[in-house]
Amino acid sequence: MAEVDLSKKVADRYLKREVLGEGTYGVVYKAIDTKTGQTVAIKKIRLGKQKEGVNFTALREIKLLKELKSPHIIELIDAFPHKGNLHLVFEFMETDLETVIRNTNIFLSPADIKSYMQMTLKGLAFCHKKWVLHRDMKPNNLLIGSHGQLKLADFGLARIFGSPDRRFTHQVFARWYRAPELLFGAKQYGAGVDVWAAGCIFAELLNRRPFLQGSSDIDQLGKIFAAFGTATPSQWPDLAYLPDYVEYQYVAAPPLRSLFPSASDDALDLLSKMFTYDPKARITAQQALEHRYFSSAPLPTEPNKLPRPATKRASKASDFNPQEGPTVLSPPRKTRRVMPDREGFEGNANRTDKIEEHAGETKNADGEIAGRNEQVPTSVDFSIFAARPPSRPTINSADRSHLKRKLDLEFQHPE
Ligand SMILES: Nc1ncnc2c1ncn2[C@@H]1O[C@H](COP(=O)(O)OP(=O)(O)OP(=O)(O)O)[C@@H](O)[C@H]1O
């Protein structure tokens, strides 16, 4: 009972305003922190079947996220359970990069693009240094504050709350930013997945539309290979050992310049390094920041001079009127594009179906995909906290050493 009272007390601290939207994990509300007068965004996470509440591992990791403080990471101000939901309180942000990119009234100069990329990579480099991966980088997770500062949102949530049920979420769009090692089913991966996604965001800033819009994981790989040429074992030695590897028909890469006509030579060079197939050879976020693209003219635009949409989410602390009661609006059901993704993010089920569906585009090396998948243990726990061992090891040591030998895909610890 005391616990209920406590959570109510914490919840009462925040004066709920309108719904900002609904994402993978639940509804996001605008709210006012009555203690500080600060406008915040509260993400209400459905705990689903976990009636007993958030498990210990999740709580420990939420605590770690609270300590993840950087000018380019959305601050997790508070976290509390209430009425069977977990509430995560974040600093409020005015808009996001997806809104900026889609707004045709906004002209983005090369210096503006450089500025957005620099802030993105700074946020990434900071988290990677702390062994935390994002795993779900996309333009709508890059929030922009009232002074133009860009901050990465949703860091670590994929790890804590698991990969969402992708059959019924808008997460399908996240595929466009997924690194090839993930698409080939790698269960152990490193910071390179975020760098690949950042490369896709860079490409999207340059061309003002999502770069590689695959309609399935197989199609996504097809799009990647069409852009950069089919990956070969000489470029990526671990390729053929990935759990879901299938051989693709060889296509040569078109000149990168033809894909990004407006990009400078430096931008193209950095892009090609972010899109390196072998995750071990891919540039790190820190190295990318040190690339000459960022030091050559034009220099990145000052954040407060960056163009932003005219219509903003109201964000004034003056919204706070202590006389008013909380405005509780029932969350609008966001119309979602439901695209069944039968294999989801983690599973291999129906992989063979998919390959058959796309038989025209792909070539199965030996027709034994299911058999090949069985050879490689697929139940290795993910770990965004790369320095620490998986919390619940689910394979035995023989399997693990076999996997290590075959994949040799240890986390790439950034320097
Ligand atoms: N800190 C914040 N400040 C202001 N608005 C926010 C904040 N965090 C999220 N929002 C807004 O709330 C809505 C839902 O966000 P959420 O992050 O849950 O999902 P999403 O980014 O739309 O999708 P996904 O869950 O697939 O990443 C979005 O419109 C988002 O811009």
Residue nearest to atom 9 of ligand 1 (CA): 28
Is residue 371 annotated as involved in ligand binding? no
Which of 310, 326, 355 marks a domain boundary? 310
74: Cβ below 6 Å to ligand 1?
yes
pLDDT given for residue 165 in this prediction: 43
Could you tell me if residue 372 is inside a domain?
no
Find the DSSP H helices in 344-384.
Answer: 351-357, 369-375
Domain of 264 in residue numbering reads as 93-310
137: Cβ below 6 Å to ligand 1?
no
Residue the block writes with tokens 């994949």: 407
> Is there a single domain that holds both residue 132 and residue 269?
yes
> Is there a single domain that holds both residue 107 and residue 83?
no
Task: Give the ligand 1 atom nearest the CA of 174.
Answer: 26
Which of 310, 340, 366 marks a domain boundary? 310
CA neighbor of 133 nearest in space, from 285, 244, 300: 285
Separation of CA 191 and ligand 1 centre (Å): 23
Is residue 29 annotated as involved in ligand binding? no
Residue nearest to atom 17 of ligand 1 (CA): 23
Catalytic one among 112, 136, 154, 219? 136
Could you tell me if residue 211 is inside a domain?
yes
DSSP 237: T
141: Cβ below 6 Å to ligand 1?
yes
pLDDT given for residue 302 in this prediction: 98
Q: Do you find a cis peptide bond into 307, omega within 30 degrees of 0?
A: no
> Is there a single domain that holds both residue 83 and residue 176?
no
User: Counting beta carbons within 10 angstroms of the beta carbon of residue 149, is it exposed (0 to 12), middle (13 to 18) or buried (19 or more)?
Assistant: middle
> In the chain, what is the straight-line distance between the N-terminal and C-terminal CA atoms, in Å?
48
345: Cβ below 6 Å to ligand 1?
no
Task: Give this prediction's pTM.
Answer: 0.75
Ligand 1: residue of 98, 138, 140, 334 to mutate (most ligand atoms within 8 A of CB) is: 140
DSSP 148: S
Is residue 27 annotated as involved in ligand binding? yes
**pLDDT tens per residue across span 246-285:** 999 999 999 999 999 999 999 999 999 999 999 999 999 9
pLDDT given for residue 1 in this prediction: 44
Own/partner pairs for 20-26, CB < 8 Å, 24+ apart?
20/313, 21/334, 22/331, 22/332, 22/333, 22/334, 24/164, 24/169, 24/170, 24/171, 25/157, 25/161, 25/164, 26/85
pLDDT given for residue 58 in this prediction: 73
Could you tell me if residue 298 is inside a domain?
yes
93: Cβ below 6 Å to ligand 1?
yes
> Is there a single domain that holds both residue 209 and residue 287?
yes
Domain with 13 in it: what CATH number? 3.30.200.20
Could you tell me if residue 382 is inside a domain?
no
* Whole-number Å distance between alpha carbons of 404 and 410: 7
12 is catalytic: no
> Is there a single domain that holds both residue 208 and residue 157?
yes
Ligand 1: residue of 20, 88, 101, 155 to mutate (most ligand atoms within 8 A of CB) is: 20
> Is there a single domain that holds both residue 72 and residue 189?
no
Task: Give the ligand 1 atom nearest the CA of 22.
Answer: 14
10 Å Cβ neighbour count for 238? 19
* Whole-number Å distance between alpha carbons of 246 and 130: 34
Return the C-alpha torsion angle 314, 34, 148, 191, nearest 10.
-120
Could you tell me if residue 159 is inside a domain?
yes
Separation of CA 387 and ligand 1 centre (Å): 29
> Is there a single domain that holds both residue 262 and residue 272?
yes
> Is there a single domain that holds both residue 289 and residue 279?
yes
Separation of CA 230 and ligand 1 centre (Å): 35
Separation of CA 141 and ligand 1 centre (Å): 7
Could you tell me if residue 206 is inside a domain?
yes
> Is there a single domain that holds both residue 261 and residue 230?
yes
pLDDT given for residue 326 in this prediction: 33
Q: Which two tokens stand for residue 160?
A: 């804590």
Could you tell me if 179 and 196 are in contact, meaning their C-beta atoms sit under 8 angstroms apart? Answer: yes
Could you tell me if residue 363 is inside a domain?
no
> Is there a single domain that holds both residue 298 and residue 167?
yes
Report helix angle 265-274 to 192-207, nearest 10.
150
80: Cβ below 6 Å to ligand 1?
no
DSSP 94: S
Structurally, the chain folds into a number of domains equal to 2
CA neighbor of 320 nearest in space, from 28, 18, 34: 34
Could you tell me if residue 161 is inside a domain?
yes
Domain with 181 in it: what CATH number? 1.10.510.10
Is residue 344 annotated as involved in ligand binding? no
- In this prediction, the answer to ipTM > 0.90 reads yes
DSSP 310: S
Separation of CA 30 and ligand 1 centre (Å): 11
> Is there a single domain that holds both residue 31 and residue 160?
no
Could you tell me if 211 and 196 are in contact, meaning their C-beta atoms sit under 8 angstroms apart? Answer: no
pLDDT given for residue 53 in this prediction: 54
pLDDT given for residue 335 in this prediction: 30
User: Counting beta carbons within 10 angstroms of the beta carbon of residue 113, is it exposed (0 to 12), middle (13 to 18) or buried (19 or more)?
Assistant: buried
245: Cβ below 6 Å to ligand 1?
no
Mean pLDDT, each 10-residue run in order, the chain (415 residues): 52 89 87 94 78 65 85 93 87 96 96 98 96 91 96 78 46 82 92 97 98 95 98 95 94 97 97 98 98 98 94 48 34 30 30 27 28 24 28 33 31 27
> Is there a single domain that holds both residue 43 and residue 119?
no
94: Cβ below 6 Å to ligand 1?
no
Is residue 23 annotated as involved in ligand binding? yes
